[in-house]
Structure 1
């Protein structure tokens, strides 16, 4: 549906080159919600503006539904842009217009007949839950309601693609959840491909099917949500994952282990799907001559699937510990942890 093929965007600043996007290769499939995450200045907002050629790439190809946008004439590019909706961080609403007129605006400039325009506006306002606010002005709305208007306006022209540039960054956590649920409905009911640009890992965890991590204009890691949460490779990805799933053992606990003077046998156990609810460690403690000391743990949900990890200390004879590890490995993933106090 969307393909970045060796795409770069270079700016000239004070006689120096700034590579905002650097040789990016990405493919976003039809009907998926794809997240691009990165810290400020990573290049993610520039990347999303390349999709509808609000920014033209310095090199490489931007392909949408099989068409290389960099080779299209202006009339054909305008036609493609009508199939691409965009949602902004700060809503970008017309303050002097009512909710109804804000949603109708892209239809009006496209020359849609009045009756068809009115029917479409009513349909979309019903979908986003704002029919009762149709005649109010943006200043009378909450932040979440303003973003719903932004979503309705983006959907008015029946796009195939929805670009979301930090669409929830100006919202509180509860409102963010409601907007993410709405975007999921947009994908499911309209089969729209959504490209999410964000710096919030909880947004990625909540809604995205796959994700790419950007740093200094480059994609440094990409994959499914499970891949990135269960086994992040790059330090930047690991930092993002820690913002929603802390997995560092508190120093006070490690200091307590050191004071006991016992040899450390610390392991991280990862649980996925049905294993998240199984009493695996309880069975280990009963079947083998080991004691299981849970140091840290967390279970969450990724795309409706339970996922979590426990950091445990296994105490006992080496032989029994190895037997216990073999048993755990037959059910779930287990890795030794090198942990240091201080």
Structure 2
């Protein structure tokens, strides 16, 4: 549906090249929710503006539905843009217009007959859950309600693609969750492809099928939610994952282990799918002369797959610990993270 082929965007700043997007290759499939995440200045907002040619690539091609946008005539480009809706961080509503007229605006400028406009707006407002707000003005709405208006406006022209640029950044966590649920509903019921730009890892974990991580204009890592959360390779990706799935042992705990001394080892055990429900550590305590001390842990769900990790301390004779580790690694992944903390 959306393809970036060796795409770069270079700006001139004080006589020097500023490379906002640097040789990006991405393929976003029809009907998926694809997230692009990165810190401020990573190039993600520039990337999304290349999709509807609000920014023209300096090099490479952006294809939408197989069409190279840069090769289209202005009338054909306008037709493509009608198939692309956009949702903004700060809503971009017309304060002097009612909810109804805000949603109707893109239809009005497209020359759609008034009778059709009223029918479509009524349908969309019902879909996004704010039909009763039709005659109110933006300053009478909450942030979540304003974003629902923004989503309704983006859907008014029946687009194939939705571009979401930090669509939940101005919202509280509870409202964010409701908006993400609405976007999933949009994808599922209207079969719309959604490209989501964000700096919030909890957002991509909640809604996206695949993600790309950007840094300094480049895509440094990409893959499914499960792949990047369970085994992030780049340090930036690891830092993002850590914001929602903390896996570092608190220094105070490590200090306590060090003070106690003795023959101790610390391991990270990773649970995936059915292994998440197995009593692995209980069996270790029963079958081997080893004491298991759970230091830290978290279990979550990624794309419907249970995933989690525990950081444990194993105490006992080296031979018994080796036997215990051999047993564990036949069931789950285990890796020593601090050797002989004492």
Provide TM-score, normalisation by structure 1: 0.97
Q: Deviations over 1:14-49 (max 9, x none)?
A: 011100000001111111111000000000000000
Deviation at 1:2, TM superposition (A): 0.6
Q: Does 1:8 align with 2:3?
A: no
Query: For 1:336 and 1:209, how far apart are their aligned partners in 2?
Result: 31
For 2:263 and 2:82, the matched residues in 1 are separated by 65
Mapped to 1, the partners of 2:325 and 2:62 lie a distance apart of 49
SS at match of 2:308: strand
Q: CA deviation at 1:315?
A: 1.5
Q: How far apart are the structure 2 equivalents of 1:223 and 1:103?
A: 35
- Range with bigger deviation, 282-291 or 300-309: 300-309
Q: Which moved more, 1:265-274 or 1:150-159?
A: 265-274
Is residue 182 from structure 1 mapped to residue 174 from structure 2 by the alignment? no
SS at match of 1:7: strand
Provide the secondary structure at the position in 1 that maps to 2:338.
coil
Q: Contact 2:22 / 2:217 at 8 angstroms: preserved in 1?
A: yes
1:19 corresponds in structure 2 to 19
- Greater mean deviation of Cα atoms: 151-160 or 272-281: 272-281
Aligned to 1:132: 132
Q: Deviations over 1:77-129 (max 9, x none)?
A: 11111110000000000111110111111111111122211111111000000
> 1:170: how far off?
0.4
1:113 to 2:105 alignment: no
Q: 1:248 to 1:156 in 2, by over 3 A?
A: same
Q: CA separation in 1, counterparts of 2:264 and 2:204?
A: 35
- Is contact 2:7-2:59 (8 Å) kept? yes
CA offset digits 1:39-90 (Å, max 9, x no partner): 0000000000000000000000001111111111111111111110000000
Q: Which shows bigger deviation, 202-211 or 274-283? A: 274-283
Corresponding position of 1:61: 61
CA distance in 1, matches of 2:2, 2:308: 32
Provide TM-score, normalisation by structure 2: 0.97
Q: Report the Cα offset of residue 335 of structure 1.
A: 1.4
Q: Please give the alpha-carbon distance, in whole angstroms, between the structure 1 residues aligned to 2:283 and 2:111.
A: 69
Partners of 1:218 and 1:331 in 2: CA distance: 38
1:145 matched residue in structure 2: 145
Decide whether the 8 Å contact of 2:266 with 2:340 is kept in 1. no
Deviation, 1:236, is 0.8
| Mapping of residues 330-341 of structure 1, within 5 Å | 330-338=330-338
Distance 1:340 1:83, change over 3 A: farther
Greater mean alpha carbon deviation, residues 64-73 or residues 178-187: 64-73
The aligned counterpart of 2:97 is 97
Corresponding residue of 1:49: 49
Q: Which runs of no fewer than 5 residues in structure 1 stay unpaired?
A: none
Partner SS for 1:337:
strand
Q: Distance in 1 between matches of 2:220 and 2:288?
A: 43
Greater mean alpha carbon deviation, residues 273-282 or residues 309-318? 273-282
Q: Secondary structure at the match of 2:257?
A: helix
The runs of 5 or more residues in structure 2 that have no matched partner are: none
For the 8 Å contact 1:254–1:340, the answer to whether it is kept is no
Match of 1:310 in 2: 310
Residues 165-222 of structure 1: CA distance to partner in whole angstroms, max 9, x if unpaired? 0000000110000000000100111111100100001101111111111010001111
For residues 1-342 of structure 1, what are the structure 2 equivalents within 5 Å?
1-338=1-338
